Amino acid sequence: MAEKFKIKIAPSLLSADFSSLASEIKRAEKAGADMLHVDVMDGHFVPNITLGPFIVKAMRRVTRLPLISHLMIDDPGKYIKEFAEAGSDMIIFHIEAVKNPKALIRNIKSLKVRAGVSIKPGTKTGSVKNILPMLDEVLVMSVEPGFGGQKCMREAFPKIGKIRNDYGYKGDIGVDGGINYENARLAASMGANVFIAGTYLFGGKNMKKLISQMKRIKCCEN
């Protein structure tokens, strides 16, 4: 595999202490995060409820890091504009939640925001195959979306290889759910280059050390 993709680290704020959100964001920033992953849950698409555009707007005021809104919500099209206006740099929606992904991607891009699509552990790669050229990122979930702190389902990883190698996708491939150093390495060997990690990074003693270790992982190498 000749091509190399830049490794990027996205701490998931779901595991941050929300009573001190601004300082948690600074902590991730100082530790070398490339972007911040914001988990939006609506109690319908997933059983849990987290936050909406109002909080993204507050986050926007305290950091210049790209804010990635991972929408685990039904009918995401309804809220795209609000998340864009709140200051999201990229909006990732779930392929399982929409009927017309192409129209939604066009809508996101028309708001000058990057567009990504996420697939749940049980969702096949074929569901995103024909939209790959329109996407900035494919996010492969390695837990059932809804909660932080779950065990990584490594059986989802071969889908990364399929998207990277069989489909020849050249954009970012993120992996989200139970990611630690070892799981990130395995995912990277298959072609992932964006590591989303909540519990591992916010729960660890030294986020800076953990991030720099993860950044040394090479994509697409065994």
Q: Among the candidate windows 54-62, 105-113, 173-181, 209-217, which touches ligand DX5 by CB under 6 A?
A: 173-181
Establish if 148 lies at the interface with ligand DX5 (CB under 6 A): yes
Give the β-pairing of 172-176 and 90-94.
unpaired
Active-site annotation holder among 34, 42, 172, 176: 176
φ/ψ (deg, to 5) at 212: -70, -35
17 is catalytic: no
Q: What is the DSSP string of 140-183?
A: EESS-TT-SSPPP-GGGTHHHHIIIIIS---SEEEEESS--HHH
Shortest Å distance, C-beta 109 to ligand DX5: 23
136 is catalytic: no
The alpha-helical segments, DSSP class H, found in the chain are: 21-30, 53-62, 80-86, 101-110, 126-129, 158-161, 181-190, 199-202, 207-215
From candidates 7, 9, 14, 65, binder to ligand DX5 by CB under 6 A: 14
Q: Among the candidate windows 27-35, 121-129, 177-185, 208-216, which touches ligand DX5 by CB under 6 A?
A: 177-185
**Token pair belonging to 198:** 């909540």
Shortest Å distance, C-beta 209 to ligand DX5: 17
Instruction: State the binding string over 7-46 for Zn ion (x if CB under 5 A, else -).
Output: --------------------------------x-------
Positions annotated as catalytic residues are: 39, 176
